[in-house]
Amino acid sequence: MKNIAVYCGASTGNQKIYQTSARKLGHWLVENDYGLTYGGGSKGLMRIVADSVLEQQGVVHGIITQKLFDRNLAHTNLNKLDVVETMSERKELMLKDSVANIALPGGPGTLEEISEAFSWTIIGESSHPCIFFNPNHYYDKLASFYDEMTTQGFLDKKVRQTLLFSDSFSEIGQFITTFQAPGLRKYRE
């Protein structure tokens, strides 16, 4: 089974649409024969997406740091839970265990994780598609900022096209199945 890494927060946000979207994403993963790889947490959107996969008899692999595990923040009913020492190890294992990366709405940690995954795709360390799942237009301003990076010459237009912002599962599925990693970055003087 192929897994998709989902980055999301230990919070639920203040609008019900984020919880509903996390549940729908979990169902979509199972319906499309994907397992879930995620941060292993038992709170917020992390728990909701994991539980929605488990409720559908899907496979969930959690990867959590020892410090978070020691604070009793790990989900206890996963198919597999790896406990690692550092956040860097956690992120690397999540990338290795997945074929695509999706960010649900979240805070700075979520943004940092999906940004690193996209950076790795840009420099050729990964060949996975990166997607910002965008319910309620949560990531619209970030999408505009990535467009501005292109306009200002800090991100190649072809590379920008390999990053998806969408709340459409059909568009996300199509993006994953047809994805081609950008060629190695060419540096200008």
Which pLDDT belongs to residue 65?
97
Do 44 and 11 meet the contact criterion of CB atoms below 8 Å apart? yes
Note the pLDDT of residue 1: 83
Report the alpha-carbon distance of residue 137 to residue 62 in Å, rounded.
Answer: 28
| CATH architecture entry for 2-137+147-178 | 3-Layer(aba) Sandwich (3.40)
Mean pLDDT of 41-46: 97
pLDDT at residue 129, as a whole number = 97
Domain boundaries, the chain: 2-137+147-178
User: Band of the pLDDT at 182, cuts 50, 70, 90?
Assistant: confident
120 contacts: CB under 8 Å, gap ≥ 6 = 95, 126
| Angle (CA) 152 164 5, round 5° | 125
Cα–chain-centroid distance for residue 14? Answer: 20
Quick: pLDDT tens for 152-181: 999 999 999 999 999 999 999 999 999 998
Q: Give me the pLDDT at residue 183, please.
A: 78
> pLDDT for 100-149, tens place per residue?
999 999 999 999 999 999 999 998 899 999 999 999 999 999 999 999 99
Question: Tell me, what's the pLDDT at 7?
Answer: 98
